[in-house]
Every structure is written in structure tokens, then in C-alpha cells.
């Protein structure tokens, strides 16, 4: 029978290689044909009813689980919903009204661009295993070659394909918040397109692919603390520094023009995150349910933490503070949602609420970089917190952790993986930005920035009242 495309990749990051081997042995419908299936086929053949279907070439593909498939297709829709309209509205409400359409355009265009790149080379470079280096795949699955609708490890190849595509879409879109209101639209497209191929795909392959270097090392990252949030956060930090601050920053006040839009976007992100984390185990099972539960707990705890800090410090709890805190909690729980329980989620939510608040206020003010919508302070720092804390809070026997590892050893592994991917992201992002700057220039001119990117870049206005 045909060699099946290895699709169950994200589950490896949540439980480790040993537990995955145990799980697949207990659930033969989600793996390639097992000895049990072969024995069953032999018994059916001996009845005479299936005579003539004995050749190995005619052996049926592993059964597709309809429940798992339905959940992953739903989760794919939820994660896409996180970008359009969730992230789009969240960011658009935070900028000045003369740039609202620009932000919406960035997010929408990225959905389209990343879809095409994923089909052409993205999926293959992220998940094919024809290269043995452990850092990047080959082109054996370019343009979806070799994928079918009828075969896969428990879910169809195309279900895994679309689910992973939504992660590929949202990761570069997260970076938009760091350089809003001043980047050329053409530069944004060049930068994010090159960044997705040069930074995201190697990070994804090394952490999630079957032969990934950090996966084999034992790194745990269920839904993208390293692959999504650390890469996007650090990439955003480099981008905002290279581009420089917005005109008038930090002296001029640059208040959000529409906080209700931001609150609506936050709600969409929060709900969509259930698919982000809950779907990353690729099964409609107890692990997926637990991932959703801890996602809710961490987000709520971080939101309250941020709110109370502001309340005590400034005398009033702000809407902007509570919604930003919830995103910090969601980012931090992402890598840990496969191994921590509710108690661990409370601690991660508390830690991320405080540390991300500090990074987005005191640290940013101290160093003076214009991370406009706090992509690094929330996503980058949040991803680091969850990636490292899971080593302690997710260990079996610690609180309600479910990970089969020793905390000290796992912390070293998590630190090495996060540091290596982070360092690569910093260097590669800087090089990409310099190349794009030489090609088309990064920033709009001063007059266009003053007029706003809606009119200068797109010839439209978000509000015509």
C-alpha cells in the first residue's frame, strides 16, 4: 500500500515520543496499519466473504475517524476566524482612525498571500520528511502533491493541511501590530512573505515535524509557543526597531480610535483560541477538552491580573488593560495546554498577566522601541513564559500536570529550543528587513504618514462622516 503522509505531528509536541507510541498502540485507527488490523484482515479473509481481496496492494487505508475529522475542520475554521475578523478588529481598533483600513488590509492580504505560499511550498517545507536535517522539509508535497482526501492518520491529509495553513496565516499577521501606521504596503508583503518561508517554516519543521530536530530532543510545544508566539514576538521586535518609531512617538498621544472594535476582536480571538489549542492534539478526545479548559482559565486569570495591576497603580481598571491581559494569558498557555491542568493554568495566567504587563509598559518605556500594539510584550513574552513554565507545571506528579518528564531536564530542553529558535528569528528577521529595505524601502514618506495610510496607500477612508 502507499506510504502514508505523516500527519500526526502536533500531538508529538504535547506528550512526547514515548507517550505517542503508547497512544497510537491503543488507537490503531489513527495510525498506519497495525498488526491488529493485519490480523483482523486475515480473519475476514478466512471467512470466504472477502476472498480475492488478499493482496497487499489492495489492503485498505487506515480508517478515517469522522469525529476527529469534524473537530479538526471546525478548529480550522476557528483559527482562521482568529485572523479575519478577530485579529483584524483587535488591531484596527487600537490604531488612529486614519489607519484603520490599512490594518484591515494588511491582515486580509496576508490571509490570501500565506494561503498561496502554503499550497506552493509551505506545507511541504514544513512537514515533508524527505530531508534528514531535522530543520526543513523538502518539496515532495509541493502544490499539495501526494495528499488525498481519503487517507491520513486518523484524519484526512487535507484536514491536517488546512488546519496547519491557518497557523501559517496568523503567525506573520501577528507581527502587523508592531509596525502599523508607518510601513509601506509593498514592503509589508515582501517582508512577511520572505519571513514566513525563511523563519516560520524551519521553526515549524524543527519543532513539529516527525523528524524535527527539537521534537526529537524532546521539546514540548502543543500549539505554538515557540513556533508561533516566540517567532512572531521576536520578529515584531526587530521590525519595529529597524523601521523606527512612528512620527511623534513617544511625545504625541496615539490613542486607540475604537476600543469597542478592539473588544469585539478580543472576543473573537478568545473563542478562536479554543480551536487553536483544542485542535492541536488532532483528536476530539479528553486531551482536546482539557486544552480548552486550561485555555479559558489562563486567559481569564491573566486578564484579571492585568486589570488589578492597573487598578492599583492608576486608580482605574481599563478596558484596554483587561483585553490585553486576556491575550497575554492565551499566548502563554498555548505551548503548555497539552500538559498542564487547571491548577497550572491559573499559575501561567497569573505569571503572564504580570510579566507581560511589565514588558509592555516599563521595559518598552525604558528602551524606547515603538512596538505599537505590544506584539513582543504580549505574544513574545507570553510565549516564552508558557514554554518555560510547562517544564515545571506540566510534569506528572506536580499539581495536575500530565507530562511524562522530569522538570529540570525538560526545562533545559525547553530553554535550548526557545533560545535557538529565538536567536535564529532575530538574525534572519534583521537580514530580511535590510533586503526588503534595499528592494522597495520600508517606510512611507513623512507626508504620507501624517495623512494616514488609508488615503496614501489605498485611496480610501475608513470613515466618511
pLDDT (tens digit per residue) in 200-233: 999 999 999 999 999 999 999 999 999 999 999 9
- The alpha carbon of 129 is separated from its chain's Cα centroid by a whole number of angstroms, namely 21
Strand partners, 216: none
Q: Is the dihedral of CA 176, 177, 178, 182 positive or negative?
A: positive
Helices 259-278 and 319-333, axial angle in degrees (round to 10): 10
Q: How far apart are CA 125 and CA 444, in angstroms?
A: 33
Q: How far apart are CA 465 and CA 448, in angstroms?
A: 21
Report the SS3 class of residue 250.
Answer: coil
What per-residue confidence (pLDDT) applies to 463? Answer: 95
Report the SS3 class of residue 198.
Answer: helix
Q: Which phi-psi region, left, alpha or beta, contains residue 369 (left: φ > 0; alpha: ψ -120 to 50)?
A: beta
Query: Across the chain, what does the average pLDDT equal?
Result: 89
What per-residue confidence (pLDDT) applies to 43? Answer: 38
Q: How far apart are CA 74 and CA 228, in angstroms?
A: 20
Residue 121, all three cell numbers: 511550498
Dump pLDDT digits (tens) for 103-146: 999 999 999 999 999 999 999 999 999 888 999 999 999 999 99
Q: Break the chain into its structural domains and give their ranges.
A: 66-458
Within 8 A by CB and 6+ apart from 410, the residues are: 218, 220, 390, 391, 394, 395, 403
**How many Cα atoms sit within 13 Å of 77 on the Cβ side?**
5
Task: Pick 52 or 440 by higher pLDDT.
Answer: 440
What per-residue confidence (pLDDT) applies to 153? Answer: 80
The hierarchical CATH code for the domain 66-458 is 1.10.3430.10
What per-residue confidence (pLDDT) applies to 44? Answer: 35
Residue 11, all three cell numbers: 500531538
Comparing C-alpha atoms, which of 391, 353, 426, 449 is closest to residue 199? 426
What per-residue confidence (pLDDT) applies to 39? Answer: 34
Residue 24, all three cell numbers: 497510537
| Distance (Å) of CA 236 to CA 304, 306, 387 | 26, 22, 19
Q: How far apart are CA 61 and CA 459, in angstroms?
A: 53
What per-residue confidence (pLDDT) applies to 30? Answer: 36
Average pLDDT over residues 40-64: 46
Report the SS3 class of residue 130.
Answer: coil
Q: For the chain, how big is the Rg over CA atoms in Å?
A: 23
Average pLDDT over residues 283-307: 98
Dump pLDDT digits (tens) for 398-446: 999 999 999 999 999 999 999 999 999 999 999 999 999 999 999 999 9
Strand partners, 403: 395
What per-residue confidence (pLDDT) applies to 150? Answer: 82
Q: Which residue shows C-alpha cell 501590530?
A: 177
Instruction: Count CB neighbours of 115 within 10 A.
Output: 17
pLDDT band at 344 (very low <50, low <70, confident <90, very high): very high
Cis check for the bond before 85: say yes or no (omega within 30 of 0).
yes
Comparing C-alpha atoms, which of 308, 329, 328 is closest to residue 318? 308
What per-residue confidence (pLDDT) applies to 81? Answer: 98
Amino acid at each position: 500500500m502507499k506510504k502514508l503522509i505523516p500527519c500526526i505531528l502536533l500531538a508529538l509536541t504535547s506528550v512526547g515520543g514515548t507517550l505517542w507510541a503508547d497512544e497510537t498502540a491503543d488507537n490503531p485507527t489513527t495510525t498506519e496499519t497495525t498488526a491488529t488490523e493485519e490480523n483482523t484482515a486475515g480473519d475476514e479473509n478466512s471467512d470466504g466473504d472477502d476472498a480475492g481481496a488478499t493482496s497487499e496492494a489492495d489492503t485498505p487505508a487506515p480508517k478515517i475517524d469522522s469525529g476527529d475529522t469534524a473537530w479538526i475542520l471546525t478548529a480550522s475554521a476557528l483559527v482562521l476566524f482568529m485572523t479575519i475578523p478577530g485579529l483584524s478588529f483587535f488591531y484596527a481598533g487600537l490604531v488612529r482612525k486614519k489607519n484603520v483600513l490599512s490594518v484591515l488590509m494588511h491582515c486580509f492580504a496576508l490571509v490570501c498571500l500565506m494561503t498561496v505560499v502554503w499550497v506552493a511550498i509551505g506545507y511541504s517545507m514544513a512537514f515533508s520528511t524527505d530531508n534528514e536535517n531535522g530543520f526543513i522539509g523538502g518539496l515532495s508535497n509541493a502544490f499539495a502533491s501526494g495528499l488525498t482526501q481519503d487517507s491520513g492518520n486518523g484524519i484526512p491529509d487535507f484536514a491536517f493541511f488546512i488546519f496547519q495553513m491557518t497557523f501559517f496565516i496568523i503567525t506573520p499577521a501577528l507581527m502587523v501590530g508592531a509596525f502599523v501606521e508607518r510601513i509601506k504596503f509593498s514592503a509589508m508583503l515582501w517582508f512577511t512573505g520572505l519571513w514566513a518561508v525563511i523563519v516560520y517554516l524551519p521553526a515549524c519543521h524543527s519543532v513539529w515535524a516527525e523528524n524535527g530536530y527539537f521534537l526529537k530532543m524532546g521539546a514540548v510545544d502543543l500549539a505554538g509557543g515557540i513556533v508561533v508566539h516566540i517567532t512572531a514576538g521576536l520578529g515584531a521586535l526587530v521590525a519595529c526597531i529597524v523601521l523606527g518609531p512612528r512620527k511623534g512617538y513617544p511625545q504625541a498621544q496615539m490613542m486607540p480610535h475604537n476600543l469597542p472594535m478592539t473588544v469585539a476582536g478580543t472576543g473573537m480571538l478568545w473563542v478562536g483560541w479554543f480551536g487553536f489549542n483544542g485542535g492541536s492534539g488532532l483528536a476530539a478526545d479528553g486531551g482536546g477538552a482539557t486544552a480548552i479548559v486550561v485555555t479559558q482559565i489562563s486567559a481569564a486569570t491573566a486578564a484579571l491580573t492585568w486589570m488589578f495591576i492597573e487598578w492599583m497603580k492608576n486608580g482605574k481598571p481599563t478596558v484596554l488593560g483587561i483585553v490585553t491581559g486576556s491575550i497575554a494569558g492565551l499566548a502563554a498557555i498555548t505551548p503548555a495546554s497539552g500538559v498542564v491542568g487547571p491548577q497550572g493554568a491559573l499559575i501561567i495566567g497569573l505569571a503572564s498577566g504580570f510579566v507581560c504587563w511589565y514588558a509592555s509598559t516599563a521595559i518598552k518605556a525604558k528602551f524606547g522601541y515603538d512596538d505599537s500594539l505590544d506584539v513582543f510584550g504580549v505574544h513574545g513574552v507570553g510565549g516564552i513564559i508558557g514554554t518555560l513554565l510547562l517544564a515545571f507545571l506540566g510534569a506528572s506528579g506536580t499539581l495536575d500536570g500530565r507530562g511524562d518528564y522530569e522538570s529540570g531536564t525538560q526545562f533545559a530542553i525547553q530553554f535550548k529550543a526557545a533560545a535557538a529558535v529565538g536567536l535564529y528569528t532575530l538574525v534572519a528577521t534583521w537580514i530580511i528587513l535590510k533586503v526588503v529595505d534595499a528592494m522597495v524601502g520600508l517606510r512611507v514618506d513623512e507626508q504620507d504618514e501624517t495623512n494616514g495610510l488609508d488615503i496614501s496607500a489605498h485611496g480610501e477612508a475608513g470613515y466618511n462622516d
